[in-house]
Amino acid sequence: MEKKTREPQDWNQAIKELLKIVEQHEACGKSRAEQKPAQTKEQIQKSLPQRDKRYIPARVKRFLQREFLGTCGFPQCKTPAEIYHHTKRFSLEPNHNPDHLVPLCKPHERIAHHGLIENETLPPENWKIQLDPDKNSPKYLIDRKVRSFRAPVG
């Protein structure tokens, strides 16, 4: 600030100037937030194309982060989410409908791709671990392919 006025300033004046800048910055942030409210699931679904590209749009990710509070969607898991999982495999239904996406931690995503989640197409509160995958399901073939691209664990 001394460079601006070319005069020495006392601390009180410097603090007042900084507070003005912070207040202006906060006011700008509030007005931007008020202009662009969070999208609802219905608005997101209407805006998605019939056949999506492979990447998941940021607005869908933000919606899922809000819905699941940044944690894994598997029942009783409070681990931070790392992966957005398509409960209806993307290769079968190429869209990013938030009804069929669940943020998962890595271990639960691995369980899902081993076909070991019962009721996977239902909301996560209905999920249960099953002992054997349904080998007749088209998901099982896709999951096997996904596993083949992954590096072995351990």
**Residues 72-112 pLDDT 10s:** 999 999 999 999 999 998 888 888 889 999 999 999 999 99
Are the C-beta atoms of 71 and 80 separated by less than 8 Å?
yes
**Residues 108-151 pLDDT 10s:** 999 999 999 999 989 999 999 999 998 888 888 888 888 888 76
Kindly give, in sequence order, each residue whose CB lies less than 8 Å from that of residue 95, ignoring residues fewer than 6 positions away: 48, 49, 50, 51, 52
DSSP lists the bridge partners of residue 118 as: 128
Residue 33's pLDDT is 47
Is the model's pTM score more than 0.75? no
